[in-house]
Amino acid sequence: MGDKVFLAEDYFSRYKEIIPDYLNFLLTLKKPLPQYFRINNLKVWDREALFRSLKENYGLIFEEVKELSLFYRVTNNEEISLGNLEEYSLGLIHSMTVTSGLPVIALDPKPEELILDLCAAPGGKTALLAMLTEDQAIIVANDKRIDRLTALVANIKRLGITCVITTCYRGEFFPLGIPFQKVLVDAPCSGEGRYRVGLEGEILYQKVGKSNLPSIQKGLLIRAFDLVQPGGIIVYSTCTINPEENEAVVDYLLRKRPAEIVDWVSPLPYSEGLTEWKEKEFHPKLKLTKRFYTHQVKAVGFYIAKIKKLI
């Protein structure tokens, strides 16, 4: 894309009909994304002592996210870098936007389950899987890049997690034969849910995506389905708005494999998934998938589909 400048109003106009309260959405893009962190329940037993340290030593001001257990929103957002705090280095807290936790909540991990995180690095969702299962599940965290796995392993060690096994495969070619009970596919995407807008209306930090992203995403989701046991659950998620990377990918799976969309209770507000886009009709059950827009959740935008393997 070079140095080409994209204006938000032009770029997002193709989504105008599907984004609720569209003008408020555009206004929200001009505000920085809030910082969030989650307390590491594997290490923290005295929450009040941790709160006192964060407030007294760094002047950190934060509030509880009542909808999500142990998540907190930083309110003096521009002044503090969470990654520089001693409590972060010790693994007492983990920086993670609230919507990044939703795919894990949808997957509903349980202790002793065999779970695959197919595109795991840098490990935030892997860590949450371990935290929610009290470090008692068996979690395989896979990524195709060694350098990204290095960051994942560092996070796992920092947080004191012991139940994670790491592997390095292209997700589309992860070896078959292991009957996972649950698989998380947080797929590589164009990242539109993270875009912010500058003073002149230009898009900042725009990710230069691959043109073949939908084909990669379809390959990942098909492989995830083939890796899970009958009756098992797959959660597919992205942080983008684009229906070609979201509903169209899940619709492809429904046409290729015996799968069904499963509803789940979201703790945050959402819009229903689309059943049509640009004159293309999708499976009607795609309305059970969920779109999380940044102005509705005050966080990164996300798309989440929960899928059950029938046979």
- Does residue 188 contact residue 154 with C-beta atoms inside 8 Å? no
Contacts of 150 (CB under 8 A, 6+ apart): none
Bond prior to 214 in cis (omega within 30° of 0): no
**Among 119, 163, 189, 239, the one annotated catalytic:** 239
3-state DSSP assignment of residue 225: helix
d(CA 215, CA 95): 31
Which two tokens mark 274? 């689309």
| Known active-site residue 119 | no
Q: How far apart are CA 109 and CA 19, in angstroms?
A: 31
Distance CA 245, CA 240 (A): 8
Q: Is 64 exposed, middle or buried (0-12, 13-18, 19+ CB in 10 A)?
A: exposed
For residue 309, which of 149, 185, 148, 136 has the smallest C-alpha distance?
185
Give the span between the Cα atoms of 238 and 304, in whole angstroms: 7
Q: Which amino acids are annotated catalytic? A: 239
